[in-house]
Structure 1
Amino acid sequence: MKQWIAGLMLLALVTSCDTNAVYKEYTDIDEGKWFIKNAPSFTFQIDDATVPYNIYYNLRNSLSYGYYNLYLTRYLRDESGKEMESRLDELILMDPKTGKPNGDGLGDLFDHKFLMKRNYRFPKPGKYTMQIRQYMRQDPLLNILSVGITVEKAAPTR
């Protein structure tokens, strides 16, 4: 119960800081067991395709997570379902030498926000879907509690 309350407090803190966010969503991973077949999808609306966007992975893991990194495959599709991009990314959750966790922690829960795409310009306004699949050798992957994305308007460059 303490972990759950701590997680809610941390989520409230993290979500309050995203003033440029046009979309932010998490999917909880049942019992912290992320099966390869479980590939959460996030559908969002882009109204203005003339401005660049930053897209982030959002991830929550427990300190019991057994690796320092996490491989994810992402798939970006347009509203017709056409795949615009697929890519394998490595997220570093802990320092590989010291084991010190990265991210914002409260108790044994850690939240991470990793840049996925910087200054990305969507080809046109409309709905887009980002699907994320874990790409580790363990199935299920243990102690990943939630995964999500944030889409933000990029800050103007000077």
Structure 2
Amino acid sequence: MRKSVQLLVALALLFILPACDANQVYEKNLDLDKAVWTVQEKPTFEFEVLDTTQRYDIYFNIRNASLYGYYNLYVKHTLLDPSGKRVSQLLHQMLLMDPQTGEPRGQGSGDIFDHQFLALPQQQFHQTGTYKVVLEQYMRQDQLPGIMAVGVRVAKTAK
């Protein structure tokens, strides 16, 4: 029962704390069916850019269970502008656990851990409108059990 209470408190903080950040423009997390990220699933996140003079930091959010079998996660992003033209595409390696000790990184309690990785720092957008970020898991297997949720956060770069 104690782990359940800790989990509820952690989840509540996860939703409350981002609301306190004045620089945050967008944040959305998507739960993956049965805590498995399949190759076919390509979560897409859409956000509005209204100020082209501002620079933005784009973060990737990952929630994993301790049953995830690797210390890292490869994710490919594709960033599309309002017309659908590709702005960038890159493969990212995210360390979910310490490669030497196997200790989990990120915030968590029990066997669930939340990570936020600065993936695209200081992005400048040249037109206003709706941009899309598409995420793909790029590991060497069709299904990744233990990846519970993925998300994107966009915040104004602190000056």
TM-score between both structures, scaled by the size of structure 1: 0.92
Equivalence for 2:32: 29
Matches within 5 A, 1:54-69: 54-69=57-72
Map Cα deviations across residues 54-103 of structure 1 (whole Å, 9 max, x no partner).
11000100011100000000000011111111110000000001000000
Equivalence for 1:73: 76
| Cα separation, 2, equivalents of 1:123 and 1:4 | 46
2:10 aligned with 1:10, yes or no?
Answer: yes
Q: Which runs of 4+ in 1 moved over 4 A?
A: 1-8
| Cα separation, 1, equivalents of 2:129 and 2:12 | 29
Distance 1:25 1:69, change over 3 A: same
Paired residues, number: 156
Matches within 5 A, 1:146-157: 146-156=149-159
| Cα separation, 2, equivalents of 1:115 and 1:26 | 15
| Cα separation, 1, equivalents of 2:26 and 2:2 | 28
Q: Alignment partner of 2:126: what SS?
A: coil
Superposed CA RMSD in Å reads 1.8
Distance 1:31 1:55, change over 3 A: same
Distance 1:58 1:5, change over 3 A: farther
Residue of 96, 100, 103 corresponding to 2:99:
96
Equivalence for 1:84: 87
| Cα separation, 2, equivalents of 1:99 and 1:56 | 24
Consecutive unaligned residues of structure 1, counting only runs of 5 or more, are: none
| Cα separation, 2, equivalents of 1:152 and 1:45 | 12
Consecutive unaligned residues of structure 2, counting only runs of 5 or more, are: none
Q: Alignment partner of 1:13: what SS?
A: helix
Q: In the alignment, residue 107 of structure 1 is paired with which amino acid? A: G
Deviation at 1:33, TM superposition (A): 1.2
Matches within 5 A, 1:133-144: 133-144=136-147
